[in-house]
Amino acid sequence: MKNNYKILLAATVIISLGLFLVSYYLTAIGLIISGTLAMVFVMNEHGKTVLNKPRLFPILGDDGRSVIITNTGETDALSVEITIVPSNLEYSFKSIDADSEIKIETKELVGKNKINIEYYDKSGEKFTVKENLTFAEDTEYDPFKPMIPMFK
């Protein structure tokens, strides 16, 4: 946590304890505000590290002979190794930029095989994706899909 955040948090706690002389309720309200600020500061710092990662999402092309790999993450994916099983196809890429996609053309029908993707982020952390290749209509990735279905 930054030093400014710590000073602000300490000031709200001291003011809250000073309000103890006026009213118990004002002290409780001040401590609730201090706790809320502390949670916001911690989540803000933690969110920067969680969101700053690449996320590769594979789908099968419409023709069945291509695979589209989309990086929906915030940073580049480095040293990308792609294996399509049981077709025994292997591909490697230097990097896939953030918010971009690559299309892998194959000479044969890929079908609904399994894909294994290994890649690294800028800090050297290794990520692995193991999914079944499906067409775009059958995928579970939908950023606008609600968590709780409202209609059937």
pLDDT at 90 exceeding the cut of 80: yes
Per-residue pLDDT of 57-81, as tens digits, reads: 888 888 888 889 999 888 889 999 9
Q: What is the pLDDT of residue 2?
A: 77
| Cα–Cα distance, 100 to 66 (Å, whole number) | 16
Under CATH, what is the fold of the domain 56-138? Immunoglobulin-like (2.60.40)
Q: What are phi and psi of 46, to 5 degrees?
A: -70, -35
Only one residue has tokens 């789908």, namely 59
Global confidence as pTM: 0.64
Which amino acid is present at 20? F
Tell me the C-alpha to C-alpha distance, in Å, between residue 85 and each of 1, 76, 88, 90, 113. Answer: 45, 25, 5, 9, 6
Q: Confidence class of residue 1 from pLDDT cuts 50, 70 and 90?
A: low
48 sits in the region (left: phi over 0; alpha: psi -120 to 50; else beta) called alpha
Give the three-class secondary structure for 87: coil
pLDDT at 117 exceeding the cut of 90: yes
> Token pair for residue 61?
């092309």
| Cα–Cα distance, 76 to 130 (Å, whole number) | 19
Q: Confidence class of residue 35 from pLDDT cuts 50, 70 and 90?
A: very high
Q: Using CB atoms within 10 Å of the CB of residue 145, give its burial: 0 to 12 exposed, 13 to 18 middle, 19+ buried.
A: exposed
